[in-house]
């Protein structure tokens, strides 16, 4: 937010420098990010002098150039080559002397230096209006009045406005400070407390009585949407340019002047924080103002020339035929705007429902100065006051006449918000004791009324324009802000007792897993929980007022975000991906649900090539190794199951106590294509909260060492692509005997296999607790397995 120093001093009379003001503003929470100098004429005409042309001769080597001798009260006249057609002897002209700088309209600039033009020396430049920023004329040099004294700076005759502009990084909650008046009020609170001489000029208006009558009528259809509405009819206005003082104030904060009527509304907006809107009164059909909703699908062309389709929830200003004139609090209509031909104005000042304004602004992708303030809540009790101020300005600057009475709708008084403020709470939060009278003085300076002194505190009343002050802690923050953060000193000695983290602490498990992954070369990422909306998803949680289509629903998986991270890195030549993320996913079932997960994504090479090791491409089993390493820390008995999941080409699920701990697999080609990732990727998600609930009280687990050796046998099976690992696992469980464990260690689809087939490589662990298995017994079990696979899946053995 830009704040003009000259404008600020219209509300606050103080001798403090702009630099000191900037320091104070930062101290009271209105952080000044920088102070810029505004010049109505770029460069402030430095080095531009009044000169007189003593002679003007044709250039010997150029038909369109002339060689002049120009007197600027130096010992010798300057020789300047000029190409202007209107230069002649005796003229008084604007001379850019050596070392001065000329600022062009496109933002470029250049320094005046000695030069030779077609062989003739030139020691300066005779300037046109546009070259000095004094106009747009470029058909010749600027000829000055004879009364100008030769050798004097041109700035002595042409007023150059200068201003210092504060760039304030305003937080969204500070609606009270979104104006020069609000900033001045905050400054005065600080200056008054610290006994620094200053005077705050409160807004003052006098009731005005209109001449004659008008036939305008006002109807507000919904007072919940429009608690306040005021309107005035001003006739016989002359629309034209604003006075220079007003144009310069607006330009200083980056607003281009339009005409005196529009400029007045902008002045009121940035001066007092209350948006106004001016209509051409004669374009309001039936001279009737209706404020309410318009029909869904109504077409309306706004001031920016865009035709918009209304959704039926926007507050609209309408005429007697219910035709829209303006999207209330956001943007006016093209057909009812003030133009140079306007002679009668309807001036509007209102307080609109902030939620309704925000919804409408987001729905149409509009962010105007008016909507920015209405969305956050303006001062409802200032609505009529600033309208009277605007009327005064229109009468003064536009020559208009107020017609009849002001139209008014304000059915209910908007009450202050009452709170109890405890001194003991202030002392506890701040760690210091502020004098009680100083607290009262700060509250008074912030328009917070002290109703009663009570035991250990105050009963206070907060004005409605302080929408961010609704709790006791908010008031304490206000007191500290004005008292001064820098006055709160920390104790030299701070005593505390270390508190040991219990095993049940979620951070302990999360930090432990993170350290393990980081030690294996992983990088942690954090992605936005908001994602594009999914078509056809019934369990998707969508936002009512999304900022954009790309941020319209809550994510249901960490995979998409991790794939975007992978795509970003791969496109920047970092193909070896090891990412993990702790985050929540969200679903809408019988009720809203959210779960915390750990997502792990690997792709590319497992480790970089070096002199000892060649490149080692990552695969599913490397991912599984990392997941197993993490789950082993839980001290649980886990089982593996095949997983059917559209996100994976092949998937595996790890369960314990009947609950899923992890899912993992090779990411499907469709998801990789959608993410623009052109290399294989492997993903695992671990249900963090389930692991947290099930993990054993001790990470140590003791088992008897088997007395007899385990036996391992492997099979490579050729099966149909429709057969899953889960089906093979379930079939193997039906084979009784000494089979203890089945693991999948390879899946292959591709060359040298029949069409529609794939290969599974399985390992089988056999063990007897009573004896060493003989080869005949082992062979018998393996034959049973092979027979089962052939019968059920028509499997073939691969050699």
What is the C-alpha separation between 517 and 519, in angstroms, rounded?
5
> Is 477 assigned to a binding site?
yes
Q: Judging by beta carbons within 10 Å of its beta carbon (0-12, 13-18, 19+), is residue 267 exposed, middle or buried?
A: buried
Name beta bridge partners: 764: 713, 742
Q: Would you give the end-to-end CA distance of the chain in angstroms?
A: 75
Q: Is 478 annotated as a binding residue?
A: yes
Cβ–Cβ under 8 Å, residues 765 and 711: yes
DSSP string, 588-601: ESSSEEEEEEEEEE
Do 68 and 80 form a contact (C-beta atoms < 8 A)?
yes
Determine whether the annotation assigns residue 474 to a binding site.
Answer: yes
Q: Which residues pair with 598 in a beta bridge?
A: 582, 686
| The pair of three-digit structure tokens given for residue 757, joined into one six-digit string | 């087939």
> Distance from CA of residue 304 to its chain's centroid?
23
Q: Are 616 and 588 in contact (CB under 8 A)?
A: no
Place of tokens 């779960």: 595
CA distance readout (Å), 456 to 91, 427, 696, 699: 80, 11, 50, 53
Phi, psi of 676 (to 5 degrees): 65, 30
The sheet carrying 288-293 orders its strands as 217-220, 288-293, 315-318, 324-327, 331-332
Residue 150 in tokens: 């030769």
DSSP annotation of 241 reads: P
Question: Cβ contacts of residue 26 below 8 Å, gap of 6+?
Answer: 32
Residue bearing tokens 């003739």: 120
H or E segment to which residue 690 belongs: helix 688-694
Residue 339: what are its φ and ψ, rounded to 5°?
Answer: -125, 180
CB-based contact 201:10 (threshold 8 Å): yes
Binding residues: 468, 474, 477-478
Binding residues for Mg(2+): 468, 474, 477-478
């Amino acid at each position: 937010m830009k704040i003009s120093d000259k404008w600020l001093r219209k509300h606050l009379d103080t001798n403090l420098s702009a630099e000191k003001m900037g320091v104070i503003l930062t101290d009271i929470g209105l952080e000044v990010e920088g102070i810029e100098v505004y010049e109505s004429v770029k460069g402030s005409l430095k080095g531009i002098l009044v000169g007189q042309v003593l002679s003007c001769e044709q250039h010997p080597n150029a038909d369109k150039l002339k060689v002049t001798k120009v007197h600027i009260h130096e010992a010798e006249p300057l020789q300047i080559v000029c190409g202007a057609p209107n230069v002649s002897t005796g003229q008084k002209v604007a001379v850019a002397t050596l070392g001065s700088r000329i600022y062009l309209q496109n933002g470029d600039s250049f320094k005046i230096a000695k030069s030779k033009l077609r062989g003739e020396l030139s020691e300066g430049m005779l300037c046109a209006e546009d070259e000095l920023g004094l106009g747009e004329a470029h058909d010749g040099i600027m000829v000055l009045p004879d009364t100008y004294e030769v050798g004097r700076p041109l700035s002595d005759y042409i007023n150059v406005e200068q201003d210092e502009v504060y760039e304030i990084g305003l937080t969204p909650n500070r609606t009270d400070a979104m104006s020069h008046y609000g900033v001045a009020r905050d400054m005065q609170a600080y200056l008054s407390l610290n006994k620094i001489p200053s005077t705050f000029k409160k807004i003052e208006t006098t009731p005005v009585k209109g001449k004659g009558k008008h036939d305008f009528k006002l109807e507000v259809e919904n007072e919940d949407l429009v608690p306040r509405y005021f309107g005035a009819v001003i006739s016989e206005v002359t629309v034209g340019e604003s006075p220079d003082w007003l144009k310069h104030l607006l330009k200083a904060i980056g607003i281009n002047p339009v005409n005196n009527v529009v400029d007045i509304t902008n002045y009121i907006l940035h001066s007092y924080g209350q948006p106004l809107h001016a209509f051409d009164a004669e374009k309001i059909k039936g001279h009737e103002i209706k404020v309410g909703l318009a029909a869904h699908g109504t077409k309306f062309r706004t001031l920016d020339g865009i035709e918009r389709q209304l959704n039926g929830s926007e507050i609209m200003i309408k005429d007697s035929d219910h035709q829209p004139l303006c999207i209330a609090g956001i943007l006016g209509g093209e057909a009812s705007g003030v133009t140079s031909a306007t002679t009668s104005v309807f001036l509007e000042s209102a307080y609109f429902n902030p939620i309704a304004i925000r919804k409408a602004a987001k729905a149409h992708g509009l962010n105007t100065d008016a909507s920015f303030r209405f969305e956050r809540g303006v001062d409802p009790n200032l609505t009529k006051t600033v309208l009277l101020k605007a009327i005064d300005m229109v009468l003064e600057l536009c020559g208009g006449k107020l017609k009849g009475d002001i139209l008014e709708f304000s059915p209910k008084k908007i009450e202050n918000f009452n709170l109890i403020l405890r001194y003991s709470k202030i002392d506890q939060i701040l760690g210091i004791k502020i004098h009680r009278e100083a607290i009262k003085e700060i509250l008074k300076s912030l328009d917070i009324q002290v109703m009663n002194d009570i035991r250990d505190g105050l009963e206070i009343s907060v004005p409605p324009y302080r929408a961010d002050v609704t709790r006791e802690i908010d008031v304490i923050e206000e007191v500290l802000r004005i008292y001064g953060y820098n006055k709160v000193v920390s104790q030299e000695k701070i005593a505390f007792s270390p508190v040991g983290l219990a095993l049940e602490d979620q951070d302990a498990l999360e930090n432990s897993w993170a350290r393990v992954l980081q030690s294996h070369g992983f990088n942690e990422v954090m992605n936005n929980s908001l994602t594009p909306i999914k078509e056809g998803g019934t369990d998707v949680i969508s936002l009512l007022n999304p900022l954009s289509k790309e941020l319209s629903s809550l994510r249901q998986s960490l995979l998409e975000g991790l794939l975007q991270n992978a795509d970003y890195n791969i496109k920047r030549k970092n193909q070896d991906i090891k990412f993990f993320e702790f985050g929540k996913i969200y679903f809408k079932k019988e009720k809203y649900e959210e779960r915390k997960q750990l997502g792990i994504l690997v792709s590319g090479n497992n480790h970089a090539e070096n002199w000892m090791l060649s490149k080692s491409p990552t695969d599913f089993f490397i991912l599984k190794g990392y997941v197993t390493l993490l789950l082993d820390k839980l001290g649980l008995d886990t089982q593996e199951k095949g997983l059917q999941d559209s996100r994976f080409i092949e998937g595996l699920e790890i369960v314990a106590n009947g609950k899923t701990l992890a899912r993992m697999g090779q990411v499907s080609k469709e998801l990789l294509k959608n993410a623009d990732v052109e290399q294989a990727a492997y993903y695992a998600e671990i249900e963090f909260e389930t692991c947290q609930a099930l993990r054993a009280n001790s990470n140590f687990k003791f088992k008897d060492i088997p007395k007899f050796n385990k036996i391992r046998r492997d099979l490579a099976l050729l099966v149909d692509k429709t057969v899953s690992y889960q089906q093979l696992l379930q079939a193997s469980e039906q084979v009784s005997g000494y089979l203890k464990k089945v693991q999948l260690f390879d899946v292959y689809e591709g060359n040298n296999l029949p069409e529609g087939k794939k290969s599974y490589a399985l390992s089988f662990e056999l063990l007897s607790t009573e004896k060493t298995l003989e080869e005949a017994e082992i062979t018998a079990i393996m034959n049973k397995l092979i027979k089962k696979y052939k019968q059920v899946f028509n499997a073939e053995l691969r050699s």
